[in-house]
Amino acid sequence: MFILILRRMLVAIPTLILVSMIVFSLQKLLPGDPVLTLAGEERDPAVLDYLRDKYRLNDPLPVQYFAWVKQVATGDLGRSLRTDVPVTTLIAQKLPVTLQLAAMAMFFALIVGIPMGILAAVKKGKPIEYGANIAALSGMSIPNFWLGIILIMVVSVQWRLLPASGYVSPSEDFWLSMKTMLMPALVLSTALAAYLMRHTRSAMLEALNADYVRTARAKGVSARGVILRHALRNALMPIVTLVTLLFGELLAGAVLTEQVFTIPGFGKLVVDAVFNRDYAVVQGVVLCVAVGFIVMNLLADVLYILVNPRLRHS
Amino acid sequence: MKRLTKTFTAALVMMACAAGTASAQQLRVGLQEDPDVLDPHRARTYVGRIVFTSMCDKLVDLDPTLNIVPQLATSWQWNADSTVLTFKLRDDVTFHDGSHFDAAAAQANLQRAMTLPDSFRKTELSSIKSIEAPDATTLVLTLKQPDATLLSQLTDRAGMMLSPQSFAGDDVNAVGRNPVCAGPYKFVERVQNDRIVLDKFDKYYDAKAYHFNRLVFLPIPDTTVRLSNLRAGGLDILERLNPADVAEVKKDTRLTFANIAGLGYQELLFNHQNGDRAKANPFNDARVRRALDLSIDRDAINEVVGGGIFEPAGQAFPPASPFFDKKFAPGKRDVKAARALLKEAGQTEVKAELVFGNNTTTAAIAEMLQAMAAESGIQLSLRPTDYAAMLSQMRGGNFEVAMRGWSGRTDPDGNVYQFLSCKGSQNDGRYCNPEVDKLLDEARTVPDVARRKALYDKAQELLHKDAADVYLYYQPWPFALQKKVQGFVPYPDGMIRLKNVTFATK
């Protein structure tokens, strides 16, 4: 077990280096001069030259990259070109926002997706199953930004029930925080809930046809007991790993949702940074997300072993 | 189930109430972008100036008709040959850190603006030779040569005063983290991409005229979401309303619409002689450029895309400026004349590429231009580009004709010199006419408005003869406000000045 974790962590190091190199060079391939973008309407050539020098933009790419790696090794991710704020500060500010959004979305997805999946499996061939399937299909295919705008129009503008956008930290005002996050989290959870529903349904169908379920039924266990205690327990195993892996997907999905609802999270930070050619920020955020993905994958592996004892000895 | 419905309804009603009420003394302003660094000497964005306006007083200010009026300076005087400018300063001004504002502080600020390596104010103040503070309320600027643009520069960031203590240390970034100025509102906090919070400064010399205890600036780039927030009660004012939404806001009884023609413009800029693409550019011929100008129906653009607020432009100076001249008003669309000009130029079928920074408004305008130009025989292919990429492509000469906007400056020089003088820093098409240069250079040094206007008139005549570039419309500054916001007056510089602005008491 520990050897497995150690091995996975060692593999993570080259992955991280590769990711950072790819992002670094991709950014440089983007057309646009970061200093011209930063200067906007101002064009004093002396100042532009000074800034190019200051941010090492005149150096060859490998030199820039190694300078960056050296800096990162000391825990310094650099400063935003646009606002001078250290990238680590920005990450510390934005990460909790996106995590809150992702956690709430995951919560909604779980409480909707899994019961719906169970129900669809149990009521196979009945209208409930078709309804659940249609709901899942629409959940997967409705674009987040469209749903977001529609919700804002109806719930915030027409009914004036919830704030249209923005972010309030839960430590500042818990209920207001939940209210502002409600719509974005719902929007973000739709695809996820659909995904979970489908996987739960197929896993449940498989479990319900298994021998141990038939045995349980033959022993006279109640229908509820069969479904919840026998079938669901086994069906949930792959779902657990799926959820940890999907959490990473959620962070990516948050990019669009954050744009629509103007949530100052990770996604918005990186999108704005790309448009502003704020290299240091893009670089730092991507590195951070890559670390997050690797950790989640590792966690999924570990969880899978914990849930499924059969794997421990292989 | 019934009970559940009841609880749910009750919860919804409670939420609705909470969403509707907000602190009465707090004004929430929706911005189109997140400002850049909050250091007036290093700042670059229009949107940042909106925040500075409430936070940092300047030596002088503007009134709605662009006259220069006192702010930190109570009066000023030029010497006979316009090389020495003497300010009398207020002596009742306190910085947000409690220190006193005097001529020595003003001197230190101007010196910082002129020497900081990444100060974007250096060019604006380049005519200053020396700065003296003979006593606490007298500031004397001695110039290298007469500079008619200097006073208007001091109405903006170059004239903003920071507490000298706030920039005394070695850390250049300290000012941006916590700007300490002398204005009606003081800096409280900033969360990037989220909000900037300012609180009322009680020791401000005119504090009675400012009625909000707190200002919150919220950057919301999406125009639809920004307007939705206003309509949902989450904002009190928003700037740069989408022209397509003007009609809807006017109809909404809960909102007020306020618009003013700004100082800037949207224009078509030709690649005259920047790089290889200029050589094969069909627009190298002034007749082809004029033909394009004649093909454009600016009223149609205003009506279809501009929601009636894209006032047609034919020159760089806005109608509010004393340097505006009716002579150069845009002509009517004339396809026949355009075709005749093309024939005269020997180019009956012109093919060219129009590049523009892509958003819904610019894309709609570009499509209209394409259709209108086609009727005269100019086939424009469109290249929508992301803004950052467009900047460097234009700089590198990778364009034939480009559409771009300029937010405008109070002084006429700021709207022409850098774009159309041979060595202008933003002259990406490298238009160069030595005669125009001579006039523009001279106009910089003449403080007398009538004499200066005569010079600009001459320059404009030459520019029109050359069809150096084509102006489309004046950039408007459309605001939408909650009905309860009273006393708001839009200024041509697009800033939000909150003096005497209040919430209506019901």
pLDDT tens, position by position, B156-176: 999 999 999 999 998 988 999
Q: Does B19 touch chain A if contact means CB atoms closer than 8 Å?
A: yes
* pLDDT number for residue A234: 82
What is the Cα–Cα distance from B67 to B216, expressed in whole angstroms? 29
* B42-B45-B47-B52 Cα dihedral, nearest 10 degrees: 20
Of these ranges, A161-170, A243-252, B36-45, the one predicted with the greatest mean pLDDT is B36-45
pLDDT beyond 90 at B47: yes
- Is B192 close to A161, i.e. CB distance below 8 A? no
Question: Radius of gyration (Cα) for chain A, nearest Å?
Answer: 24
- Is B173 close to A176, i.e. CB distance below 8 A? no
ipTM: 0.87
Q: Which two tokens stand for residue B148?
A: 């008619």
State the helix-helix crossing angle for A87-122 and A266-275, rounded to 10 degrees.
Answer: 120
- Is A33 close to B392, i.e. CB distance below 8 A? yes
Phi first, then psi, for residue B100 (nearest 5°) are -95, 140
pLDDT beyond 60 at B6: no
List chain B residues with CB under 8 Å of A270: none
**Residue showing tokens 């109640």:** A222
Q: Please enumerate in sequence order all residues whose Cβ is within 8 A of that of A131, keeping only pairs 6 or more positions apart, or say none.
A: none
Confidence of residue A42 (pLDDT cuts 50, 70, 90): confident
* B460-B462-B467-B470 Cα dihedral, nearest 10 degrees: -10
Q: Are strands B195-200 and B350-357 parallel, antiparallel or unpaired?
A: unpaired
* pLDDT number for residue A312: 66
Q: Does A29 touch chain B if contact means CB atoms closer than 8 Å?
A: no
**Residue showing tokens 């919830």:** A162
* pLDDT number for residue B9: 47
- Is B388 close to A277, i.e. CB distance below 8 A? yes
What is the Cα–Cα distance from A13 to B2, expressed in whole angstroms? 57
Tens-digit pLDDT profile for residues B250-293: 999 999 999 999 999 999 999 999 999 999 999 999 999 999 99
Secondary structure class of B233 (helix, strand, coil) = coil
Over range B199-219, report the average pLDDT.
Answer: 96
Of the candidates A44, A159, A264, which has its C-beta nearest B123's C-beta?
A: A44
Residue B343 burial (CB count, 10 A): 13
Q: Please enumerate in sequence order all residues whose Cβ is within 8 A of that of A175, keeping only pairs 6 or more positions apart, or say none.
A: B18
What is the Cα–Cα distance from A32 to B393, expressed in whole angstroms? 7
Q: In what order do the strands lie in the sheet with B261-270?
A: B378-385, B350-357, B401-406, B261-270, B469-476
Residue A220 burial (CB count, 10 A): 7
Q: Does A259 touch chain B if contact means CB atoms closer than 8 Å?
A: yes
Q: Which two tokens stand for residue B493?
A: 């510089």
Question: Is residue B478 packed enough to be buried (19+ CB in 10 Å), middle (13-18) or exposed (0-12)?
Answer: buried
What is the Cα–Cα distance from B430 to B424, expressed in whole angstroms? 8
**Residue showing tokens 């041509």:** B492
* pLDDT number for residue A82: 87
Over range A246-257, report the average pLDDT.
Answer: 82
The residue with greater pLDDT, B120 or A228, is B120
Q: Does A37 touch chain B if contact means CB atoms closer than 8 Å?
A: yes
Secondary structure class of B132 (helix, strand, coil) = strand
* pLDDT number for residue B160: 98
Q: Does A146 touch chain B if contact means CB atoms closer than 8 Å?
A: no
What is the Cα–Cα distance from B367 to A139, expressed in whole angstroms? 35
* pLDDT number for residue B174: 92
Q: Does A87 touch chain B if contact means CB atoms closer than 8 Å?
A: no
Q: Does B164 touch chain A if contact means CB atoms closer than 8 Å?
A: no
Category of A220 on φ-ψ map: left (φ > 0), alpha (ψ -120 to 50) or beta = left
* pLDDT number for residue B23: 45
What is the Cα–Cα distance from B441 to A215, expressed in whole angstroms? 97
Nearest CA to B156 out of B504, B478, B495, B480 is that of B495
Q: Does B119 touch chain A if contact means CB atoms closer than 8 Å?
A: yes
pLDDT beyond 60 at B362: yes
The full DSSP string for A233-281 is HHHHHHHHHHHHHHHHHHHHHHHHHHHHTT--SHHHHHHHHHHTT-HHH
Nearest CA to B42 out of B177, B220, B191, B192 is that of B177
Cα end-to-end span (Å), chain B: 40
Secondary structure class of B502 (helix, strand, coil) = strand
What is the Cα–Cα distance from A166 to B451, expressed in whole angstroms? 52
Q: Does A44 touch chain B if contact means CB atoms closer than 8 Å?
A: yes
Residue B284 burial (CB count, 10 A): 16
Sign of the Cα pseudo-torsion (A26, A32, A36, A39, in order): negative
A38-52, A131-145, A230-244: which range is least confident on average? A230-244
* pLDDT number for residue B506: 64
pLDDT beyond 70 at A219: yes
Confidence of residue B4 (pLDDT cuts 50, 70, 90): very low
The answer to whether B395 and A33 have CB atoms below 8 angstroms apart is yes
List chain B residues with CB under 8 Å of A179: 15, 18-19
Q: Please enumerate in sequence order all residues whose Cβ is within 8 A of that of B301, keeping only pairs 6 or more positions apart, or say none.
A: B310, B312, B365, B368, B472, B473
In SS3 terms, B170-216 reads as CCCHHHHHCCCECCCEEEEEEECCCEEEEEECCCCCCHHHCCCCEEE
The residue with greater pLDDT, B114 or B386, is B114
- Is A42 close to B418, i.e. CB distance below 8 A? no
Closest chain A C-alpha to B349 CA, distance in angstroms: 31
If contacts are CB pairs under 8 Å, which of residues 171-200 in chain B contact chain A? Answer: 173, 176-177, 191-194
Nearest CA in chain B to A159: B16
Q: What is the mean pLDDT of chain B?
A: 92
Q: Which two tokens stand for residue B336?
A: 């026949």
Question: Is residue B63 packed enough to be buried (19+ CB in 10 Å), middle (13-18) or exposed (0-12)?
Answer: exposed
- Is B225 close to A50, i.e. CB distance below 8 A? no
Mutate to test the interface with A, among B387, B391, B393, B427 (most CBs of A within 10 A): B391
Tell me the percentage of chain B whose pLDDT exceeds 70. Answer: 95
Over range B401-417, report the average pLDDT.
Answer: 94
Reported as type and span, the H/E element at residue A175 is helix A174-208
Question: Is residue B18 packed enough to be buried (19+ CB in 10 Å), middle (13-18) or exposed (0-12)?
Answer: middle
The full DSSP string for B444-497 is HT---HHHHHHHHHHHHHHHHHHT-EEEEEEEE--EEEETTEES----TT----
Tell me the percentage of chain B whose pLDDT exceeds 90. Answer: 88
* pLDDT number for residue B459: 97
State the helix-helix crossing angle for A232-260 and A266-275, rounded to 10 degrees.
Answer: 40
The answer to whether B94 and B225 have CB atoms below 8 angstroms apart is no
Listed as own residue / partner, the contacts of B324-333 with beta carbons closer than 8 Å and 24 or more positions apart are B325/B453, B325/B456, B325/B457, B325/B460, B327/B457, B327/B460, B328/B460, B328/B464, B330/B298, B330/B471, B331/B293, B331/B294, B333/B294, B333/B295, B333/B296, B333/B297, B333/B298, B333/B372
Tell me the percentage of chain A whose pLDDT exceeds 70. Answer: 98
Q: Which two tokens stand for residue A35?
A: 């200093």
Give whole-number Cα distances, A235 to A199, A215, A240, A307, in Å: 9, 17, 10, 11
Confidence of residue A313 (pLDDT cuts 50, 70, 90): low
What is the Cα–Cα distance from A126 to A122, expressed in whole angstroms? 9
Tens-digit pLDDT profile for residues B321-337: 999 999 999 989 999 99
H-state helical runs in A86-159: 87-122, 127-141, 144-151
* B116-B122-B125-B127 Cα dihedral, nearest 10 degrees: 110
Q: Please enumerate in sequence order all residues whose Cβ is within 8 A of that of B68, keeping only pairs 6 or more positions apart, or say none.
A: B60, B61, B62, B151, B152, B155
**Residue showing tokens 């503007």:** B62
